[in-house]
Amino acid sequence: MSENRAIVPAQSGMTLSETMTLGEALARSGYFSDAKSAAQAVVKVLAGQELGIGPIAAMTGINIIKGQVSVGANLLAATIKRDGRYNYRVIEHSAEVCEIVFFEGKQEIGRSRFTMEDAKAAQLAGDNWRKYPRNMLFARALSNGFRWYCPDAAGGTPVYTPEELGANVDGETGEVITVTAELVTETPKSDNGDGQHWIDSVSERGTPIRTRFWAWTKGDLALTEDQVHEALGVDHIRDYKGTMEKAKAQIEAWIVKQADAEALAEDFEQYAAGEDPARD
* pLDDT tens sequence across 167-197: 665 554 555 554 443 334 444 444 445 567 8
Q: Which secondary-structure segment (H or E) carries 236? A: none
Percent of the chain with pLDDT over 90: 15
* 184 within some domain: no
Residue 232 lies in a domain: yes
Specify which residues 178 forms β-bridges with.
168
Among 177, 207, 228, residue at a domain's last position: 177
CA distances from 280 to 261, 263, 265, 266, 271 (A): 17, 12, 15, 11, 12
Assess whether 223 and 159 both reside in one domain.
no
CA distance 244 to 29: 41
Q: Collapse the DSSP code of 17 into the 3-class scheme (helix H, G, I; strand E, B; otherwise coil) and give the result.
A: helix
Query: 207 with 89, same domain?
Result: no
**49 part of a folded domain:** yes
230 and 168 inside one domain: no
Query: Are 35 and 128 members of one domain?
Result: yes
pLDDT in tens, 65-87: 767 778 888 888 888 988 889 99
Owning domain of residue 238:
198-271
Total domain count for the chain? 2
Q: Answer yes or no: do 168 and 259 share one domain.
A: no
pTM comes to: 0.53
How far is it between the farthest Cα atoms of the chain?
Answer: 66
Same domain (yes/no): 41, 154: yes
Same domain, 171 and 227: no
